[in-house]
Structure 1
Amino acid sequence: MAIEVRIPTILRTYTDGEKAVAGAGGTLDELLADLDTRHTGLRDRVVDKGELRRFVNVYLNDEDVRFLDGIATKVNDGDSVTILPAVAGGSGHRTGTR
């Protein structure tokens, strides 16, 4: 059994368009390193200087890893990891009357 990692649309260029990929490791960091051996560049989009990038959210079985042990969070076979880039913005245009 492996760990399923759900990939957001913006990062699927690193996974040949795959929505989910499988990996292995004892921690989130090891899992991302394992994935990077087959999907080069993916880890660099999620990790910067050994920590999760500020605007990338990672969930282990629907729990935000920032409230666990961050990149050192333990993972197990059968777990599900979801990578979600933070989304912000808008048109800046307000509708309605003044």
Structure 2
Amino acid sequence: MAIEVRIPTILRTYTDGEKAVEGTGATIGELFADLESRHAGIQDRLVEDGGLRRFVNVYLNDEDVRFLEGISTKLSDGDSVTILPAVAGGALPAVPMAGR
């Protein structure tokens, strides 16, 4: 069962720069374990305490797996999984107003 996994830029050091890799597994968790067997270190960046890391978003065919079954979400041959790190923004520093 082949599943395409799209890798974000920040994790491509684990996949030798590849934007997408193939993996296998019946669930997201098994898929991540399979990726770890070929791309050592990647699983620790995705999984923590048996679930997805807080700031990692994973989509199965454009659906957020957190709203499905999380790491236990079932996969089928030909599925596409996208890994996206959450991006946090900030506010610009306050600029003093002239004349105050």
TM-score after normalising by structure 1: 0.92
Cα deviation per residue 1:40-66 (whole Å; 9 max; x = unaligned)? 011110000110000000000000000
Q: Residues 27-80 of structure 1, C-alpha deviation per residue, up to 9 Å, x if partnerless?
A: 000000001000001111000011000000000000000000000000111000
The structural deviation recorded for 1:92 is 2.8
Residue matched to 1:21: 21
Matched length: 97
Local SS of the residue matching 1:13: coil
Q: CA deviation at 1:93?
A: 2.7
Larger Rg: 2
More helix by share: 1
| SS at 2:45 equivalent | helix
Matches within 5 A, 1:15-94: 15-90=15-90, 92-93=92-93
| CA displacement at 1:91 relative to structure 2 | 5.6
Letter in 2 for 1:21: V
Q: Does 1:8 align with 2:8?
A: yes
Give the structure-2-normalised TM-score: 0.90
Instruction: Give the 3 Å change call, closer, same or farther, for CA 93–17 of structure 1 in structure 2.
Output: same
CA distance in 2, matches of 1:35, 1:86: 20
Q: Kindly, what percent of the aligned residue pairs are identical? A: 73
Query: How far did residue 94 of structure 1 move?
Result: 5.3
In structure 2, distance between residues paired with 1:29 and 1:91: 36
Aligned partners of 2:91 and 2:67: how far apart in 1?
32
> Which 4+ stretches in 1 moved above 2 angstroms?
89-95
Gaps of 5+ in 2: none
